[in-house]
């Protein structure tokens, strides 16, 4: 059965990463990573601790500079563009660990996100509709919120910038499973406003539930790319842990069916 993500793949990719290599000092954190994210899909990067997932997301957002390779957004090479200018074009990230301003209120944190917002459907009021507990707590300091509530504010702060592609780094980190479910339960409403999602997730089951495509990293290299329905648990396990004897299902960066 064809899905909206299938239809989208007939179009040009919204975001493309070509042969990316990123170093932290002497350490090669990413080695030859390529991927294509199509409009309307949820593309998930999985991998163990230190695999390079956050480095990849942060490089797409402009927070790390690649040694080689390119980041192309909507057909334009943005590799040399500053992070704030990428945000203006619609590349907006929810960073690992939320990174809210703890001494500012919920609403002030949302206002920070709205400062350089693109025009679009997302406003602070719309975020309050998405998270209906938030209006009552709008004056509360962010530091006083629970982890799940802080994650919601961090998502709201990104949404009010009106992203075209939303980069989500480890939403589930440190949260109870029920809270994670609630947070991910918001994805359809976010996608419904035309936002494309590229997420990093250590929890493979969670990624498999929400993603149209998966891409596994291991020590900075691609080990698997494919649709959740067309990769076996053994393939995912082998790609995640680097087990010998199980071939990856597809070369990374092909963008289509493995």
In the complex, least distance from residue 11 CB atom to ligand ATP, rounded to whole angstroms = 29
In the complex, least distance from residue 114 CB atom to ligand ATP, rounded to whole angstroms = 28
Residues with Cβ within 8 Å of 126's Cβ and at least 6 positions away in sequence, in order, are: 159
In the complex, least distance from residue 24 CB atom to ligand ATP, rounded to whole angstroms = 3
Query: Which lies closer to ligand ATP via its Cβ, residue 49 or residue 115?
Result: 49
In the complex, least distance from residue 51 CB atom to ligand ATP, rounded to whole angstroms = 4
In the complex, least distance from residue 217 CB atom to ligand ATP, rounded to whole angstroms = 7
Query: Which lies closer to ligand ATP via its Cβ, residue 127 or residue 252?
Result: 252
**Number of Cβ within a 10 Å radius of residue 163:** 27
Residue 91's nearest CA partner among 34, 179, 15 is: 15
Binding to ligand ATP (CB under 6 A) within 42-101 occurs at 47, 49-55
In the complex, least distance from residue 27 CB atom to ligand ATP, rounded to whole angstroms = 6
**By CB under 6 A, residue 27 contacts ligand ATP:** yes
Return the range that interacts with ligand ATP (CB under 6 A); candidates 24-32, 111-119, 156-164, 222-230. 24-32
Query: Which lies closer to ligand ATP via its Cβ, residue 55 or residue 150?
Result: 55
In the complex, least distance from residue 67 CB atom to ligand ATP, rounded to whole angstroms = 13
By CB under 6 A, how many residues form the interface with ligand ATP?
A: 13
Question: According to CB under 6 A, which one of 5, 15, 29, 187 is a site residue for ligand ATP?
Answer: 29
Query: Which lies closer to ligand ATP via its Cβ, residue 127 or residue 166?
Result: 166
Question: According to CB under 6 A, which one of 135, 202, 253, 255 is a site residue for ligand ATP?
Answer: 202
Q: How far is CA 104 from CA 107, 123, 153, 218, in A?
A: 8, 19, 12, 38
Query: Which lies closer to ligand ATP via its Cβ, residue 164 or residue 213?
Result: 213
| Sign, CA torsion 243/244/247/253 | positive
Phi and psi torsions of 142, nearest 5°: -60, -35
What is the Cα–Cα distance from 24 to 56, expressed in whole angstroms? 12
Return the range that interacts with ligand ATP (CB under 6 A); candidates 19-27, 139-147, 148-156, 248-256. 19-27
What is the Cα–Cα distance from 192 to 106, expressed in whole angstroms? 24
Binding residues vs ligand ATP (CB under 6 A): 24-25, 27, 29, 47, 49-55, 202
């Amino acid at each position: 059965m064809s899905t909206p993500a299938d239809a989208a793949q007939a179009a040009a990719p919204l975001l493309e990463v070509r042969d990316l290599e990123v170093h932290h000092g002497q350490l090669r954190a990413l080695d030859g990573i390529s991927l294509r994210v199509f409009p309307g899909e949820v593309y998930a990067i999985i991998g163990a601790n230190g695999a390079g997932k956050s480095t990849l997301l942060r490089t797409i957002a402009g927070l790390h500079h690649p040694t080689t390779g390119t980041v192309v957004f909507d057909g334009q090479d943005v590799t040399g563009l500053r992070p704030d200018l990428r945000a203006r074009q619609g590349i907006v990230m929810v960073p690992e660990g939320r990174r809210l301003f703890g001494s500012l209120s919920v609403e002030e944190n949302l206002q920070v996100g709205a400062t350089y917002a693109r025009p679009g459907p997302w406003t602070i009021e719309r975020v309050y509709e998405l998270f209906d507990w938030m209006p009552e707590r709008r004056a509360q300091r962010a530091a006083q919120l629970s982890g799940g509530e802080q994650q919601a504010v961090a998502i709201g702060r990104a949404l009010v910038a009106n992203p075209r592609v939303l980069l989500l780094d480890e939403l589930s980190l440190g949260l109870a499973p029920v809270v994670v479910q609630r947070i991910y339960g918001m994805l359809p409403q976010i996608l419904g406003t035309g936002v494309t999602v590229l997420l990093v997730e250590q929890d493979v089951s969670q990624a498999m539930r929400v993603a149209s495509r998966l891409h596994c990293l291991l020590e900075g290299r691609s080990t698997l790319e494919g649709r959740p329905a067309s990769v076996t648990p053994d393939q995912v396990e082998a790609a995640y842990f680097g087990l010998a004897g199980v071939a990856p299902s597809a070369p990374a960066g092909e963008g289509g069916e493995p």
